[in-house]
A and B are shown apart, each in its own frame.
Chain A
Amino acid sequence: MAIREINPSQGIIIAALDYRDAREVPRPQELMDIPVLIDIGNFHLRSLLEKIEVDRAIEVLTSSELLRLQQYADFRVRGLGRAARGRTGEDLLGEALLRTLVGAEATQKGRHWNRDVDFVMHLTGAMQSISSSWKRQFTDREAYLISELPIHDAEGQEHSPVDNVASAHAAADQLLVEKDEKDQILTIFKDDPEATQMLLGLLHGLKKNELGLDKKKCAATEKRIRTKLLNRRNGRCEEHGR
């Protein structure tokens, strides 16, 4: 208890190797949340230590590292389109952490955190893998929900692609293509030739050094795109209370 008073976040494990059941280990109520180790013959100790290490790694993340994780997660989920199935960047980040905790031993079940790898890089790698698996699991044949149909124009006004549709109008999938976020993004940057050049290049699978923009211009353009998209997302999130 004295250790807790000095440093409340200090990771502690109680070793009670004479007991066969952790519930039988006598301890004050205030220490009931501390994990009890009754067997060092299996990987129980390792698992407890890894949980403590992960919790410590979370606590020492700097503001910029946390912001990087959050933006990385948001962009990855946004890239999933409908395959995100309502999930957010926070869901993706939470999932990455959970897989780290449950997968510390068996790599095929989760994401083993190799301590030689920076924790941010580990989590971004996990997020990359999870978002790719979400995409794979998604089938394009799933029905569209009506709530997924509204589209936003460059001014942020919401419309439904079926608002002005007569019965003999264009095919449904054509309308759905119109709502696609890709088109919205191009519309947002229609007055920014460098951003349009970059976006079109990326759409065609070009690498950054193949876009015809020098390094400085490339970084500045990328920044404008990021900031504008984040601004729009923030605005929309506030509207929806998330």
Chain B
Amino acid sequence: MADKKNYDELERIMNQLADSVLELSDAAILAEVTATGADPQEKAERTRFVLRRSSKALEAVNKRLWNLGHSLNPKGWWHEERGYSNSCRDCGLSISFTTATNEIWGNALVGPCPESAQHAIRKREASGK
């Protein structure tokens, strides 16, 4: 219990400090970072890289599934303890990924989407090729 109280108190201080950062002017935050001996430009670009990395991670998962013929609902992702999950609209096979370890897993990765392959065959047959 005492431990929990300590952590709640710690949280209160840190959250206050987090909020105070939002009140700083542009010049003030640049000056503060410089005062810590760090390069503000370098730190800022590192943060941009973190944001880009997250965006690219989702892009990579989508691309990999697309290459296997799976069709995902882009808004069908749901969040679980380990990461994000979705399933193919055609075959229902599942896919999960996490940016924490850049891991992708799920039975949709086993091979091409069976429903998508059926669709291509039906289409070829219909066009007589």
Contact = CB atoms under 8 A, between A and B. Distances in A.
Interface residues of B, number: 63
Given A63-B41, A81-B10, A226-B21, A54 B55 contact: yes
B119 interface: yes
Contact of B21 (A51, A68, A82, A202): A68
Contacts of B32: 223, 226-227, 230
Contact of B18 (A21, A48, A75, A91): A75
B66 interface: yes
Interface in B84-106: 84, 99-100
B6 to A, nearest CB: 4
Given A67-B43, A97-B51, A102-B77, A182 B58 contact: no
Nearest to B6: A180
Contacts of A203: 9, 12-13
A230 B99 CA distance: 25
B2 to A, nearest CB: 5
A182 B7 CA distance: 8
Interface in A31-53: 33, 43-44, 47-48, 51
A33 B48 CA distance: 21
Nearest to B58: A101
A193 interface: no
A95 to B, nearest CB: 7
A185 B2 CA distance: 17
Interface in B41-62: 41, 43-48, 50-55, 57-59
B18 A199 contact: no
The listed residue with most B CB atoms (<10 A of its CB), out of A61, A203, A234, is A203
Contacts of B118: none
Contacts of A67: 29-30, 33, 40, 43-44, 47
Given A101-B58, A203-B12, A234-B36, A76 B18 contact: yes
Is the interface on chain A under 10, 10 to 19, 20 to 34, or 35 or more residues? Answer: 35 or more
A98 B77 CA distance: 10
A103 B86 CA distance: 13
Interface string A63-74: 110111111100
Contacts of A93: 47, 50-51, 54
A67 B32 CA distance: 10
B64 interface: no
Nearest to A36: B66
B110 interface: no
Interface string B111-129: 0000010011001000000
Contacts of B10: 78-79, 81, 180-182, 185
Contact of A72 (B22, B44, B69): B22
B13 A182 contact: yes
Given A58-B48, A67-B29, A226-B32, A75 B66 contact: no
B11 A66 contact: no
17 contacts: A20-B119, A21-B116, A21-B119, A23-B66, A43-B74, A54-B55, A63-B30, A63-B44, A97-B51, A102-B75, A103-B77, A173-B2, A180-B3, A180-B6, A180-B7, A182-B10, A225-B17
The 6 closest A-B pairs by CB, nearest first: A79-B14, A105-B75, A75-B18, A64-B26, A102-B77, A63-B44
